[in-house]
Amino acid sequence: MLQVYTGTGKGKTTASLGAAVRAFGYGYKTIMFSFLKDDSEYGEARAAKQLDFIDVRQVGRDAFVNFHNPDPIDLEMCRNGWEMAKEAILNKEAGLIILDEMNIVLLTKMLPLEEVVAFLKEHKHDLEIITTGRGAPEELIKIADLVTDMQEVKHYFHKGVSSRNGFDH
C-alpha cells in the first residue's frame, strides 16, 4: 500500500524509520531514498551502515535547494534518484520503500507529479511505499491508502534550539 506522512509537525521521516523497524520484525527489508539530501552524518545514514535490514540511499546533494528556482543539478539528482527508486520498486528489492521528502519534491515540481503518481498508483500493490515531506499534493493524497498529517503543537526550534545530533538529523 501507499502511505503518506505529511504536515508541518516533526515526525515524518522518523515515523517512516519506525515503520522500517517494525517491518523488519516480520523479515522485510527497507530501502530509503533520501531526496534533497547527501550528508553521511545523518543519524539514519550512520545507523544503516550497521544494520542489514535498512539501506539508506541519499540521492540529493549537501546543499541548500532553492525550491522557487532549483539548480539544474538538483533537478538532475531528483530524476536520477527517482529512476533508481523505480528500479527498486519494479524489482521488489525490499518489502518497504521509503521516498523521503518526495512530497516536497512533487509540491515544488522538481519531478512531474503526473508521472510519479501514475507509477505509484500502478505499483503500490506490489510492496509497501511511504512518502514523507511537507505539503503532499492533493493528487498524491487521492491515490494513497493512508495519509497522516503531522501537526505542530510545539517545537524547540522556536526557542532557539537548533538541529540536534541523533534527534533531528
Chain positions contacting ligand ATP, by CB under 6 A: 8-14, 132, 134, 150, 152, 155, 157, 163, 168-169
Interface segment toward Mg ion; rule CB under 5 A; list 8-16, 53-61, 68-76, 139-147: 8-16
Choose among Mg ion, ligand ATP, none what residue 71 binds, the Cβ cut-off being 5 to 8 Å by kind. none
Supply the minimum distance, in Å, between the C-beta of residue 45 and ligand ATP: 12
Of 93 and 168, CB closest to ligand ATP: 168
Q: Which residues contact 137 (CB under 8 A, 6 or more apart)?
A: 103, 106, 107, 113
Contact of 149 with 8, CB cutoff 8 Å: no
Count residues near Mg ion (CB under 5 A): 2
Which of Mg ion, ligand ATP, none does residue 134 bind (CB under 5 to 8 Å by kind)? ligand ATP
13 binds Mg ion (CB under 5 A): yes
Its sign, for the CA torsion 108, 113, 115, 117, is positive
Residue 2 CB neighbour total at 10 angstroms = 21
Nearer to Mg ion, 69 or 163 (CB): 163
Joined grid coordinates for residue 72: 539544474
Residue 107 Cβ, how far from Mg ion at the closest point, in Å? 13
Count of alpha carbons within 13 angstroms of residue 124, beta-carbon side: 20
- Give the three-class secondary structure for 25: coil
